[in-house]
Amino acid sequence: MYPLADVQALTLQAGSLNLWTRRCMQDVAKLGFDTDDVGGLIRELTKQDYRDSEWCDNGNSWAACDAYTLKRLEFIEAAGKSFRIEYFLKFALGKSGKLILIVSCHTSS
C-alpha cells in the first residue's frame, strides 16, 4: 500500500516514528529497542518481506497498515552463537505522510 522506499527514507528523519499502540510500546520495550532500532528494522525490509495489508486500530482510530516479516541472523551473546530471528512489523503513514505509525514490532511467537 505504501511505497517501501518512501517509508524507509522517512525513518531517517528525527521524530518520524510513533509507537501507535500500547501493545507495540510494550513489545518494543521487551525487545530492548527504541524507535531508532525499529527504524533500522524497517530500513532492512525488502519487497519480498511484504506479508499483507490490513486495518488496525489503537482503541481510538483506525489505520490502513502494511505488514512485513523480517528474518535475520543475530548473535545471541548468552548462547554464544547466531540464531535466525523473525520480526513482525506492521505500520501505516499518518495523514500528513510525514509520520510512521508503528502498530506492531515483535518477534514471531
CA-to-CA separations, 73 to 11, 63, 69, 84, 92, in angstroms, rounded = 22, 31, 14, 4, 26
- For residue 109, pLDDT beyond 80: no
pLDDT digits (tens, 9 = 90+) for 40-89: 999 999 999 999 999 999 999 999 999 999 999 999 888 899 999 999 99
10 Å CB burial of residue 32 (0-12, 13-18, 19+) is exposed
Q: Can you tell me whether residue 42 is helix, strand or coil? A: helix
What is the domain partition of the chain in residue ranges?
4-107
How much is the pLDDT for 18? 95
Which CATH class name applies to 4-107? alpha beta
